[in-house]
Amino acid sequence: MRLANHAFNELCGVQEGQTLGSVIGDWIEDVASLQPGLLMQSRVKARDGSPVPVEIALRQESAGGVDQVVQIFAVRDLRSRIAQERRIAHLARNDSLTGLPNRTSFLEKMERLAGTAGKDGAFALLAIDLNRFKEVNDLYGHAVGDLLLVHVGDHLRAALREGEFVARLGGDEFVALIPIRERMDAHAAAERLRDAIMTPLEAEHAELRCGAAIGIALWPDDARETSALINNADLAMYRAKSSLATDVCFYEGAMDEAVRLRRRITLGLRDALEN
Predicted local confidence at residue 145, as pLDDT:
94
**Candidate list 172, 222, 234, 247, residue with the active-site label:** 172
The answer to whether the CB of 42 falls within 8 A of the CB of 58 is: no
What region, left, alpha or beta, does residue 248 occupy, with left being phi > 0 and alpha being psi -120 to 50 degrees? beta
How far apart, in whole angstroms, are the C-alpha atoms of residue 56 and residue 58? 7
Domain definitions of the chain by residue range = 6-83, 97-274
CATH 3.40.228.10 fits 97-274, yes or no: no
Summarize pLDDT for 172-212 with one digit per residue, the tens.
Answer: 999 999 999 999 999 999 999 999 999 999 987 889 989 99
Is 77 among the residues known to form the active site? no
Which residues have a Cβ under 8 Å from the Cβ of 259 and sit 6 or more positions away? Answer: 235
Residues 139 and 206 sit within 8 Å (Cβ to Cβ): no
Q: How confident is the model at residue 12, as a pLDDT?
A: 86
Rounded Cα–Cα distance for residues 209 and 204 (Å): 13
As a whole number, mean pLDDT of residues 235-246 equals 90
Q: What is the mean pLDDT of residues 208-222?
A: 95
Sign of CA dihedral 256, 262, 264, 270: negative
Helix (DSSP H) and strand (DSSP E) numbers for the chain: 8, 10
Query: Is 161 in contact with 250 (CB distance < 8 Å)?
Result: no
Output the CA–CA distances (angstroms, integers) from residue 235 to 29, 134, 210, 250, in the order listed: 58, 21, 21, 9
- Summarised one tens digit per residue, pLDDT across range 45-99 is 877 778 899 999 998 887 766 677 788 889 999 999 999 999 999 889 999 999 9
pLDDT category at 267 given cuts 50, 70, 90 is: low
Residues paired with residue 157 on neighbouring β-strands, in sequence order? none
Determine the average pLDDT of the residues in 128-157: 95
The span from the CA of 246 to the CA of 248, in Å, is 6
From 125, 6, 142, 133, select the one nearest 77 (Cα to Cα).
6
pLDDT, position 50? 82
> What does the alpha-carbon distance between residue 56 and residue 32 come to, in Å, rounded to a whole number?
11
- Share of residues in the chain with pLDDT > 90 (%): 60
* In contact, 167 and 97? CB cutoff 8 Å: no
Per CATH, the number for 6-83 is: 3.30.450.20
Short-list 143, 168, 142, CA closest to 155? 168
